[in-house]
Amino acid sequence: MSTIQQIKDSEQSVNSCFRTGSSVLFSKAQYCNYLKLLKESGENGLRDKRENGYNRKLTESIKDYITICVGEHPGISASEMRMKIQKRFDADISRSGINDFRKSRGLVRQPSPKKEYEFQRSGGGEILTGLACFPGIIEAITETVAGRIDEVRKSSSFTESRTVKKDHPTLRVQGKFTKEYNRPESVRKNRFKSVDEKLLKKNCSSMSIFRMSKKTISRYNMALLCLPSVTDNGKSSRVNRVKGNDLAFLCGYNYKDGTPDKYMRELKYLEISEKLTMPGRVMNCQRR
């Protein structure tokens, strides 16, 4: 305090008092901070309050609360414990702080015991999927689709299709077809053309099915087979309803209606129906 007063009473400028060789033990910036504290809080603002201890968020009451909660629920996570503390004490304790405290007290998190048996929805659907997998139906369909994909990919028409330009690219970017798009006669006629005619203007390389693995194709095939079980009428448009969520259990992924619908449309452009109805495919399934 005496040093601050000497600087204030000095005839020299403040900068001169803090030049090299000066006996002042603090910087000019600290001096300005001290003056500000004196103005706001008086001499009490300059007192060293570290002797009172640090301001800890993790109070004794919170520590006791953590100990009780962990004792009742040994598997509780740090995130869950943090939310409980926020709700009860209105204090935000970091997860690392909670974990450090638990470690210091030996409150190790114990994993919750897993249920030995867990009932799943659409348990009856297992019969359908089991019957499909056991004789090799799904495997045969997947191999047929994968073989057809390789066959189309190696064809000259696949390479040529890459040069096909998009029709009305500005409308496609918007993600919808307007009534103006559907009005031209060329568009209306194209809707009722055969697949053979549509393939001439189809860029096959842009189809998602050419980038799928066999595992993904198999999962899609299983989802299509399960449509009658998870919908009332077997249509993919009903998959978005509550019962359609059972696909996550039956085929391993909770598909929405647009996904299997797109897969079926791409199968149509692969002309897979002829391959699947070949007698040899049926015989292979029966042998398995």
pLDDT at 230: 80
* Cα–Cα dist 198/116, whole Å: 53
Amino acid at 2: S
pLDDT at 250: 80
* Cα–Cα dist 145/220, whole Å: 11
Decide: 162 and 203 in contact? Cβ < 8 Å: yes
In this structure, the number of other CB atoms found within 10 A of the CB of residue 196 comes to 8
pLDDT at 286: 46
* Cα–Cα dist 199/209, whole Å: 15
Give per-residue burial for 35-52: e unless 16+ CB within 10 Å, then b. Answer: eeebeeeeeeeeeeeeee
pLDDT at 158: 80
* Cα–Cα dist 214/139, whole Å: 10
Residues in contact with 14: Cβ distance below 8 Å, sequence separation at least 6, in sequence order: 7, 28, 31
pLDDT at 217: 92
DSSP for residue 19? S
Taking only the tens of pLDDT, the chain with its 288 residues reads 677 777 776 777 777 777 755 667 767 787 787 778 777 777 766 666 655 555 567 888 889 999 999 988 888 888 999 999 999 888 888 888 899 888 888 888 887 777 665 555 555 556 666 776 777 888 888 999 999 999 888 888 888 777 766 665 565 555 455 666 667 776 666 666 777 777 777 788 888 899 999 999 999 988 888 887 787 777 777 787 777 788 888 888 888 888 888 998 889 888 888 787 765 554 454 444
pTM of the model: 0.48
Query: Phi then psi for 154, rounded to 5 degrees?
Result: -85, -10
Question: Taking phi first (over 0 means left), then psi (-120 to 50 degrees means alpha), and beta for anything else, what does residue 15 get?
Answer: alpha
